[in-house]
Amino acid sequence: MTNFKRIKEQDDKYFLNTYAPFDIAFVSGEGSTLTDSEGKTYTDFLSGIAVNCLGYNNPIFTNAIAEQAKKLTVISNYFYSEERGVLAKLLVEGTNLNKVFFGSSGAEVVECALKLARKYFYNKGEKKFKIVSTLESFHGRTLGAVTLTGQPKYNLPFAPLPEGLGIYVPFNDIDALEKALSDPEVCAFLVEPVQGEGGVRPATKEYLRAARDITRKNGQLLILDEVQTGGGRTGKFWACEYFDVEPDILTAAKGIGGGFPIGACLATDEVAKAFYPGDHGTTFGASPLAMAVSAAVVKEIKKPNFMENVLRLGEHLKTGIKNINSPYVKEVLGKGLMIGADLDPAIQAKDVVQEMLEKGFVLNACGKNILRFIPPLIITEQEIDNMLLALAPILRG
């Protein structure tokens, strides 16, 4: 029996199947290279779904875990913590935001954002509880976050859904947004600066600016979901820097932990003070271990050259995909190292992913028919070129 067969049999028997895994089991990683149970190597253009920004076995990440694990791991939020303050400061620096709540996943901090927005108006005695979000969005799988997700396939089976959520507007449509936000019971608008799972589609500058202006005029809150874009993925530490838009609340997760589970909900002082002690909490959030690892990762990403490199590599990748001159690539989307190729239905992104796996490259399909490239941010030009060389004959048909 091969190693893979043994791993698969055990997994199939015991792991609750909410995914449909590929017939591959990875056993180790180094840089942007993954090795499977049979010793075959792959170059990773998925990075755990936009998570492993520093690649695998990066000493910045592994040393931070080892050092902090020896010192202190979880102590609860009943006590002060140096590590917690250090990371919160690092995250809010350079933004209009002042305070941070820490959780352990993206959905968890989206949930925090929605509770915070509602609590803000509850404290004021205003009946504002509805949250508008966009079609094709993705905000996570908890009941609140999945209801805010503008893709019915993810939430319909779980009805009845929480009241006041599930009000969707088409992405990048200012008129539709203005109309939806005219409802006086709306407390907030939640939007991704670049839609991730929905198809790597960036918001236009006009749209996010209008979202800021309209919510401000109506006395509503703007929540930016940067769970996928945050932490340098787009070539800026926060994607909202591209749009000159200052949110009231911002959510982050994935990349800011570099592979360690973490979520962060950032808010302005004005909004953050709506939560009183006891209003919200979580056992694992803000553990010194998560804080120290994330701080090490974030410090590395925030180094000046790091982001320049992401932008340069992103352009290289984008140009490379365009230069394939595929009759099937309708548009190359995205920013930094969050890139998607929108494919004509004549070729299926999921089939391309399968063919690329066979050639030793891990890609992913998302949205309607988007081939997505979200490699570790430390990927090299050579690795990108090798991937493009393998991809070209498939995309040329």
CA distance 5 to 378: 32
Report H helices in 277-348: 288-301, 304-323
Report the nearest approach of ligand PLP to the CB of residue 253 (Å): 5
Q: From the candidates 236, 254, 318, 335, which is the catalytic residue?
A: 254
User: H/E element holding 224?
Assistant: strand 221-225
Report the nearest approach of ligand PLP to the CB of residue 101 (Å): 15
Instruction: Please say which residue, 105 or 326, places its beta carbon nearer to ligand PLP.
Output: 105
Instruction: Please say which residue, 130 or 139, places its beta carbon nearer to ligand PLP.
Output: 139
Report the nearest approach of ligand PLP to the CB of residue 229 (Å): 7
CA distance 78 to 283: 10
Report H helices in the chain: 3-14, 47-50, 59-71, 82-92, 106-124, 143-148, 152-155, 174-181, 205-218, 269-272, 288-301, 304-323, 349-358, 381-396
Q: From the candidates 61, 102, 129, 138, which is the catalytic residue?
A: 138
Q: Which two tokens stand for residue 186?
A: 């709306």
Q: What CA–CA distances, in Å, run from 33 to 134, 225, 378? A: 35, 29, 11
CA distance 64 to 137: 34
Residue type, 238: W
Instruction: Please say which residue, 149 or 268, places its beta carbon nearer to ligand PLP.
Output: 149
* DSSP secondary structure letter of residue 234: T
Instruction: Please say which residue, 298 or 324, places its beta carbon nearer to ligand PLP.
Output: 298
- Residue of this chain nearest to ligand PLP (CB atom): 106
Instruction: Please say which residue, 350 or 396, places its beta carbon nearer to ligand PLP.
Output: 350
**Residues 352 and 395 sit within 8 Å (Cβ to Cβ):** yes
Instruction: Please say which residue, 138 or 168, places its beta carbon nearer to ligand PLP.
Output: 138
Report the nearest approach of ligand PLP to the CB of residue 274 (Å): 22
* Residue 180: partners with Cβ closer than 8 Å, 6 or more residues away: 132, 167, 169, 186
Active site residue 138: yes
Q: From the candidates 44, 225, 248, 342, which is the catalytic residue?
A: 225
CA distance 253 to 245: 20
Active site residue 115: no
Instruction: Please say which residue, 253 or 297, places its beta carbon nearer to ligand PLP.
Output: 253
Report the nearest approach of ligand PLP to the CB of residue 390 (Å): 26
Q: What CA–CA distances, in Å, run from 241 to 19, 92, 163, 390? A: 34, 13, 33, 34
Report the nearest approach of ligand PLP to the CB of residue 106 (Å): 2
Instruction: Please say which residue, 61 or 328, places its beta carbon nearer to ligand PLP.
Output: 61
Report the nearest approach of ligand PLP to the CB of residue 171 (Å): 13
The region, left, alpha or beta by phi > 0 then psi within -120 to 50, assigned to residue 166 is: left
Q: What CA–CA distances, in Å, run from 248 to 225, 315, 378? A: 11, 31, 31
Residues at the site binding ligand PLP, with contacts judged by CB under 6 A? 49, 105-107, 110, 138-140, 192, 196-197, 225, 227-228, 253
* Residue 84: partners with Cβ closer than 8 Å, 6 or more residues away: 77, 102, 286, 288, 291
Active site residue 335: no
Report the nearest approach of ligand PLP to the CB of residue 140 (Å): 3
Could you list the active site residues? 138, 225, 254
